[in-house]
Structure 1
Amino acid sequence: MENNEIHVAIWHACSGLIRMAPILSSTVYYYPQGHVDNYGGSASTQTLCANFPSIKCHVNSMRFLADPATDEVFAHMNMRPMQPQETSVGPARSKEPVTDFIDSVFYKPLEYSDLIGGGLRVEKIFDKEKEDNIVVIHDIHNREWEVQHVYDNASNSHHLTNGWSRFTSSKKLHAGDELVFMRTKDGRVIVGIRRSVVSISQNHEPTGFSFIRNVAHGDKIARTGNGLCSVESLGTAMGNALNKVEFEAVYYPMTGKSSFFYDSEAVDFFAKKKWVIGMRVKKNIVVDHRLGRITHFGFITGIRNERNSPWKRLKVMWDQVEAEQLENCWEIRPDIPSVPEQKREPDIPIVREPKRGFKLFGQTMAVNEI
């Protein structure tokens, strides 16, 4: 089956990512190490490419896709390595802003009882109705599903009954999966799926390769989406990138996994910062995308001196996890205590220095100096 292109707003809602994906004509750094980590490569594979250099690339195309069998979202990228003398090109504006399509999003983790009771109780996403009625929901491929809808005034919730089991059976849902209810500006309700994954080591796949559990038939569905992300495609992408040849890559937005492309201005800005051992730093991370960002605090314990690549060269001891981890300098920030503004006479003006910053995929981000 052919992978379906979907609206970028639906893609971002189902991906669970806070960081936006790059847009057409933006300039990024491609990191082979991040590509291997995103794919789920073995430790030996990661060691093999540890010193590969980063490659500055121009994003020729970015397609936001969904697997027709699993509803898993992923992106197909085409990137062109830039020449040393070539200047960066500013990103083009998106023709379909994310905020102009989806009005609200509601995430519903599935429990075992949600799958055997013949119905599902949800909140916030449907209109309040006094009488029972049939509602039409859409999956992310724009297929329609008619479901009986009952509104419960006492609990201020909605109960999907007749017709719902047909949806769950067709989508092969499992306890631990998560439904993404999206209400569009025109009132449609779209339901996406974030599937639970397990790591299974097999002889023909690298250690840590993820599979989606298909309990309806007891078999396994590879998370790659029709095999688009294979060992061969991974090697081809890295080889072409290192040889300065245009290449294609498939990106799966999974919480906890590395990305392999980062905005070039952000990387350049933070790579020039003076990072020293003992410096207090912080990092916004996504543990559960429904909760948004949480901030971890820690301090730098070491700085790796890699010859070619700056990939995860900072060693950081985080307060919350009490463990040393390798981090990218462009994914952390100096933890600078805020200084209260001093009292002043009304007739004495204060001259403020302009904030310095950089553009992140077309948006200006202000950053404090250290």
Structure 2
Amino acid sequence: MASEMEEVAEKCLDSELWHACAGSMVQIPAVNSKVYYFPQGHAEHTCTDVDFSALPRIPAMILCRVDTVKFLADPKTDEIYAKIRLIPVLNNEHDFEDDTFFGSSVVETTEKPISFAKTLTQSDANNGGGFSVPRYCAETIFPTLDLSADPPVQTVMAKDVHGEIWPFRHIFRGTPKRHLLTSGWSTFVNKKKLVAGDSIVFLREESGALCVGIRRVKRGGIGGQETQSGWNLIAGNYGGSYAYLKEDEKSSSNGNLNSSGGRFRDKGKVSPESVVRASYFASTGQPFEIVYYPRASTPEFCVRASSVNAAMSVQWCLGMRFKMAFETEDPSRISWFMGSISTVQVADPVRWPHSPWRLLQVTWDEPDLLQNVKHVNPWLVELVSNMPVIHLSPPRKRLCLPQEHTGSQACSIWRSFIGFPT
């Protein structure tokens, strides 16, 4: 009986609908792809401190092969998440793909289904009202509405992530005329407990069937002003969805973060015990499973191996100019923000002395918008210029290599610095 309940609870979603709900920039590693698992980043997913003291010293990053991926959704809240089973890679095991990823980094061989997301207004979320459908969504995703009818009206049937069918009355009316969902919408709002700021996602499958999903607004203090402003950090060319948590205002004067990247006011969906267990299995070469919530405002901690390797080959120096992509509340809009590297320093030299996690402390050209984004992972930035600005202090010799070093020498010295095999 218990196994049957678990099977029902873990009913896998269609990957296309899952990604539509997650956001266009979320990447999930494909089966047999190579990733680095970061226990330090996994700990941040708990939104609390994780005690690793019972474990022997574990590596800061562990090369793994993706064994299985399950796309899932919470049966009560519809929040999507993924279960990923990882197998640590042995030294002689390198005969599998390196760069295959679901998501934006994949070279698409088939046409992606059409989807559209809208952030709910107060009027949309009023359980006694209707939903104002953007014209693009009504004309490209919904079934064709006969505008010659009086009034133009139809019933659309939308399937949610659990397979339940929701009927909505779609009408074109008003002055000026607009598309609305009326009957059925308030029932959906009440059942799904939607509030203003949540997003509704509509997707049309290749078969023509209409699907509906939800993206919950990131509430509370996890993201601080960053979350409240509606900006969510995503990856640049080095891949991976990324959102930064507000750093501990009471951290030590040298700016170092604690073992979980800072203290957090809200409890995460991942338990500290599961992180310790996964870290132990990973460090001892045993298969393990992790759970990842792409909308949880925490960094991606299973990162494409080639992205990390590329970032680690760079001679990171103070004053380097970079850009990073940001996603707004409108998932179709991507903005790039510029900044400079102000410090190159291991975030937690006590627990993770050789970790590149949050290695770069940055200064933004527009600090008011990004005041809580202070430490970033090297694989998430795209260099604009590797020449430091003149007025900054000279870089440290161990991190910024002299001009006579070749690219391969730079990579070797950098990897040696962070404890990565050359």
- Contact preservation (8 Å) 2:115, 2:203: yes
Q: How does the TM-score come out when normalised to structure 1?
A: 0.76
Task: Report the 3-state secondary structure (helix = DSSP H, G, I; strand = E; otherwise coil) of the residue aligned with 2:367.
Answer: coil
Question: 2:109, 2:221 → 1: CA distance?
Answer: 35
Task: Report the 3-state secondary structure (helix = DSSP H, G, I; strand = E; otherwise coil) of the residue aligned with 2:29.
Answer: coil
Question: 1:151, 1:112 → 2: CA distance?
Answer: 17
Alignment of 1:95-134 (within 5 A): 100=111, 102-112=113-123, 114-123=125-134, 124-125=136-137, 126=142, 127-130=144-147, 131-134=152-155
Task: Report which stretch shifted further, 327-336 or 150-159.
Answer: 150-159
Alpha-carbon distance, 1:78 to partner: 0.1
Alpha-carbon distance, 1:100 to partner: 3.9
Alpha-carbon distance, 1:76 to partner: 0.3
- Contact preservation (8 Å) 2:318, 2:342: yes
Question: 2:330, 2:280 → 1: CA distance?
Answer: 34
Q: Counterpart in 2 of 1:137?
A: 158
List gaps (5 residues or longer) in structure 1: 211-222, 338-370
1:11 has 2:31 as partner = no
- Contact preservation (8 Å) 1:4, 1:65: yes
- Contact preservation (8 Å) 2:127, 2:189: no
Q: Counterpart in 2 of 1:84?
A: 91
Task: Report which stretch shifted further, 129-138 or 73-82.
Answer: 129-138
Q: Counterpart in 2 of 1:365?
A: none
Question: 2:109, 2:79 → 1: CA distance?
Answer: 19
1:232 has 2:273 as partner = yes
Question: 1:34, 1:87 → 2: CA distance?
Answer: 24
Give percent identity, aligned residues only. 29
**Amino acid of the residue matched to residue 152 of structure 1?**
R
Alpha-carbon distance, 1:186 to partner: 2.7
Structure 2 residue aligned with 1:314, among 357, 360, 382? Answer: 360
Alpha-carbon distance, 1:302 to partner: 1.4
Question: 2:212, 2:296 → 1: CA distance?
Answer: 20
- Give the paired residue count: 315
Structure 2 residue aligned with 1:266, among 286, 307, 318? Answer: 307
Question: 2:380, 2:271 → 1: CA distance?
Answer: 27
Q: Counterpart in 1 of 2:169?
A: 148
- Contact preservation (8 Å) 1:57, 1:82: yes
Structure 1 residue aligned with 2:76, among 44, 65, 69? Answer: 69
Alpha-carbon distance, 1:25 to partner: 0.5
Q: Counterpart in 1 of 2:420?
A: none
Task: Report which stretch shifted further, 281-290 or 240-249.
Answer: 281-290
Alpha-carbon distance, 1:185 to partner: 2.8
Structure 1 residue aligned with 2:189, among 168, 176, 183? Answer: 168
**Cα RMSD, aligned residues only:** 3.1
Question: 1:132, 1:87 → 2: CA distance?
Answer: 58
Q: Counterpart in 1 of 2:232?
A: none
Question: 1:271, 1:101 → 2: CA distance?
Answer: 33
- Contact preservation (8 Å) 1:39, 1:209: no
Task: Report the 3-state secondary structure (helix = DSSP H, G, I; strand = E; otherwise coil) of the residue aligned with 1:237.
Answer: helix
Task: Report which stretch shifted further, 44-53 or 271-280.
Answer: 44-53
1:242 has 2:242 as partner = no
Task: Report the 3-state secondary structure (helix = DSSP H, G, I; strand = E; otherwise coil) of the residue aligned with 2:281.
Answer: helix
Alpha-carbon distance, 1:240 to partner: 1.1
1:88 to 1:242, Cα distance in 2 relative to 1, 3 A: same
Structure 2 residue aligned with 1:194, among 194, 215, 222? Answer: 215
Q: How does the TM-score come out when normalised to structure 2?
A: 0.67
List gaps (5 residues or longer) in structure 2: 1-7, 223-262, 387-422
Alpha-carbon distance, 1:48 to partner: 11
1:311 to 1:88, Cα distance in 2 relative to 1, 3 A: farther
**Amino acid of the residue matched to residue 128 of structure 1?**
L
**Amino acid of the residue matched to residue 267 of structure 1?**
V
Question: 1:9, 1:98 → 2: CA distance?
Answer: 14
Structure 2 residue aligned with 1:331, among 368, 377, 380? Answer: 380
1:199 to 1:243, Cα distance in 2 relative to 1, 3 A: farther
Q: Counterpart in 1 of 2:253?
A: none
Task: Report which stretch shifted further, 287-296 or 165-174.
Answer: 287-296
Question: 1:264, 1:177 → 2: CA distance?
Answer: 33
1:173 to 1:47, Cα distance in 2 relative to 1, 3 A: farther
